[in-house]
Amino acid sequence: MTQPDRQRDLLGPSSSLVPPLYQASVFALPDLDALDRISDGAEPGFIYARDAHPNAHLLAEQLAKLEGAEWGLICASGMGAISAMVLPYLSQGDRIVASNRVYGRTSQLFSQELPRFGVQTTFVDVNDLDIVRAALATPTRILYVETISNPLLRVADLDNLAKLAHERDCQLLVDNTFASPVLCRPLDRGADLVMESLTKIIGGHSDLTLGFLGGKGNGVRKFAQTATIWGVASSPFDCWLAARGLATLDLRMRSATTNAAALAPWLLQQPAVARVLYPGLPDHVDHQLAQRMLPHGFGNMLCFELRGGRDAVNHFFRNATGVPFTPSLGHTTTTCSHPATTSHRYVKPEEKARQGITDGLIRLSVGIENLDHIQSEMLKGLQCAS
């Protein structure tokens, strides 16, 4: 009996309740005709894991359904998904218009890496639609935004941005990581492509690194080809872990969002805190827009600034040990980060100042613990932090 036959017969009439992990880098084929059919997309199957593998295929299908997409693609990381998203559109001399409040590594990709290939990016305030309209008057291939910006939580008006982009034959590409498909589905609002860093709230347990790219129509092959050529393939085990996390995504996101909505006004009452940024607060600059864009909640991310700057941040990190300093987000428990030295470490000082990313700013990724526990742990760092 061959190994494939043995695998088929192993379970008998039973079936696995949990999808299996296919930890294989290469797959056996019966003949050249089967290879041709799989390569041409005429028949389902797998050849080489860098191109595709069962765990990535299953995860992509599940996420595409959540996002309202017709196809999905799994990449090795969020940045891998962004690269696979933008590269198929771009040639020498092309132009991107991007939000001037994007994740630090995204900003580096657009401002440092792509110019080496003759692609220029104009960064604009995407919350000013007149500025976006003026920027798109010059031929543009891509309009790139984040649903909720990292780290200062500005909310993008995807409905109107999609209209502006499509009037100019431009593609609207959206990083939806802070919102997740639980709170917002950009494709339903006119976006052409959506990406998620699965490393964050969708994975949810800080034990995997993956990215997702999804869209509508029949364009998946060109994006999959880019992912293969640039080597941003995903790990089967990480895909298996992410698929496991999807079962609780809705519960986790809604629980963490409820906690964040309660923490934001509570933080405003703390003497050590100079300001709190959260789209659910009435004084947030995008609060009314957020009510329209995020009808199911304002998310689990918030920022607060300590009056004592860097020294106060160090005091908070060293004393609020129950809210660990971890330069990422989306874990089941509450964690914090310092944008000035992590996500935006390589952003120029003047750009940090323009955005309001100060040495005293802390980004909080709120988890699903009991709210009283989160507050008591945070008080250990907030006492005398100023």
Of 94, 157, 175, 286, the active-site residue reads 175
Residue 33 among the catalytic residues: no
Alpha carbon distance 232, 5 (integer Å): 32
**Region for 356 from its dihedrals, namely left if φ exceeds 0, alpha if ψ lies in -120 to 50, beta otherwise:** left
Residue 103 among the catalytic residues: yes
**Cβ contact 75:227 at 8 Å:** yes
Residue reference for tokens 């004393």: 319
**Burial track 255-287 (b if 16+ CB lie within 10 A, e otherwise):** bbbebbbebbeebeebebbbbbbbbbbeebebe
Triad 123, 128, 129: Cα angle to 5°: 100
Of 37, 50, 65, 168, the active-site residue reads 50
Of 22, 89, 94, 103, the active-site residue reads 103
Triad 351, 356, 361: Cα angle to 5°: 120
For residues 278, 279, 282 and 288, what is the CA-based torsion angle, rounded to 10 degrees?
170
**Cβ contact 174:146 at 8 Å:** yes
Residue 163 among the catalytic residues: no
Of 154, 189, 200, 252, the active-site residue reads 200
Residue 50 among the catalytic residues: yes
Catalytic residues: 50, 103, 175, 200
